[in-house]
Amino acid sequence: MRGRAAAAPERDPGLQPERTRLAWRRTTLSGTVAAVLAIRSVLHGGVTTAGVLLCALCCTCWLTFLLLAHHRIRTLSSTGKPAALQLRHATATVLCTVALAGCAAALVW
């Protein structure tokens, strides 16, 4: 047995990929609520040019985040061992989240 190389143990991810998929879905739901509240705020408080532009930016950020999250959820679902989140996708996700929060705060303020 000394001469044989030990076989690497098979990776058992357990429920980690499922928890990650659920976290992406919860975050997407939170972004959806923020976008809907932004639209409601613009329509309820009177339509202004600045409000419409902020609402459009908010919706654009939400759609971009939705596409990125859907891509990640598909990646996690399709393979046994998912690849790490690419830096450009992570950066775009963070930027969309921060911009969405900033637009929503500006609309409420």
Residue 4 has pLDDT above 90, yes or no: no
pLDDT tens-digit profile of 5-48? Answer: 556 566 556 677 788 889 989 989 988 888 888 788 778 877 88
Question: How far is Cα 32 from Cα 27, in angstroms, rounded to an integer?
Answer: 9
| pLDDT value for 21 | 86
Question: How far is Cα 19 from Cα 25, in angstroms, rounded to an integer?
Answer: 10
| pLDDT value for 3 | 54
pLDDT tens-digit profile of 60-73? Answer: 989 999 999 999 88
| pLDDT value for 51 | 81
| pLDDT value for 2 | 56
Question: How far is Cα 7 from Cα 48, in angstroms, rounded to an integer?
Answer: 66
| pLDDT value for 48 | 84
Q: Rg (Cα) of the chain, in Å, rounded? A: 20
pTM to 2 decimal places: 0.73
| pLDDT value for 67 | 93
Q: Is 21 left (phi over 0), alpha (psi -120 to 50) or beta?
A: alpha
